[in-house]
């Protein structure tokens, strides 16, 4: 009889742990930062930035989107592949995938553009820079 009670307790514990709120995984420091490319002139006014909580996408000139990161999955293969999940403005689930290469001190590569390398550039112009800089320097963020 004691054994049945122990089994029920373990079963309930396992069931409850499966119902716990899903933990959101944050991007690894290796992919955090502001990224630009000079490999294709069509992308000279494009950039993206990955922070602990947000994905910023510069879509050209001063047009950009800001998305709250929902989840990050990492698949280790020849090159680690990071997939960031976020919700669009209409609530649809989207993913943003990049490979991390250690080439040239670290570059990101999109799966559909393997020939184009994105390099970290913290000084690259982005229209959301004023928002980010003011948030980082505000007393509330300390």
The radius of gyration of the chain from alpha carbons, rounded to an integer in Å, stands at 20
Which residues form the domain of 118? 21-141
CATH number, domain containing residue 43: 2.40.128
**Structural domain includes residue 14:** no
16 inside domain: no
**75 lies in a domain?**
yes
104 vs 76: CA distance, rounded Å: 20
Residue 8, pLDDT above cutoff 50? no
Name the pTM for this structure. Answer: 0.72
Q: Does residue 119 form part of some domain? A: yes
Within 8 A by CB and 6+ apart from 59, the residues are 46, 65
110 pLDDT higher than 90: yes
Residue 83 covered by a domain: yes
Q: Please report whether residue 13 resides in a domain.
A: no
Residue 141: the pLDDT is 41
Q: Sorting pLDDT into bands at 50, 70 and 90, what band is 25? A: low
Q: What is the mean pLDDT of residues 24-35?
A: 79
Indicate the number of domains in the chain: 1
Q: What percent of the chain has pLDDT over 70?
A: 71
Helix (H) / strand (E) element for 65: namely strand 63-75
- In angstroms, the CA 63 to CA 34 distance is 16
What is the C-alpha separation between 125 and 2, in angstroms, rounded?
A: 67
| Cβ-based neighbours of 107, under 8 Å, separated by 6 or more | 100, 101, 117, 118, 119
Task: Read off the pLDDT of residues 11-24 as tens digits, 9 standing for 90 and up.
Answer: 444 444 444 434 44
CA dihedral 23→51→42→63, nearest 10 degrees, is 90
130: pLDDT strictly greater than 80? no
Any domain includes 137: yes
Model confidence at 60, pLDDT cuts 50, 70, 90, reads: confident
């Amino acid at each position: 009889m004691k054994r049945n009670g122990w089994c029920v307790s373990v079963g309930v514990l396992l069931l409850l742990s499966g119902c716990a709120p899903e933990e959101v995984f944050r991007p690894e420091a290796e992919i955090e930062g502001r990224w630009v490319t000079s490999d294709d002139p069509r992308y000279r006014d494009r950039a993206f930035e990955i922070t602990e909580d947000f994905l910023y996408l510069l879509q050209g000139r001063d047009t950009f989107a800001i998305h709250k990161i929902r989840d990050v999955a990492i698949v280790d293969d020849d090159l680690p592949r990071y997939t960031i999940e976020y919700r669009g403005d209409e609530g649809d689930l989207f993913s943003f995938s990049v490979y991390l290469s250690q080439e040239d001190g670290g570059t990101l590569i999109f799966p559909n553009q393997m020939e184009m390398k994105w390099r970290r550039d913290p000084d690259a112009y982005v229209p959301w820079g004023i928002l980010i800089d003011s948030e980082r320097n505000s007393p509330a963020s300390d």
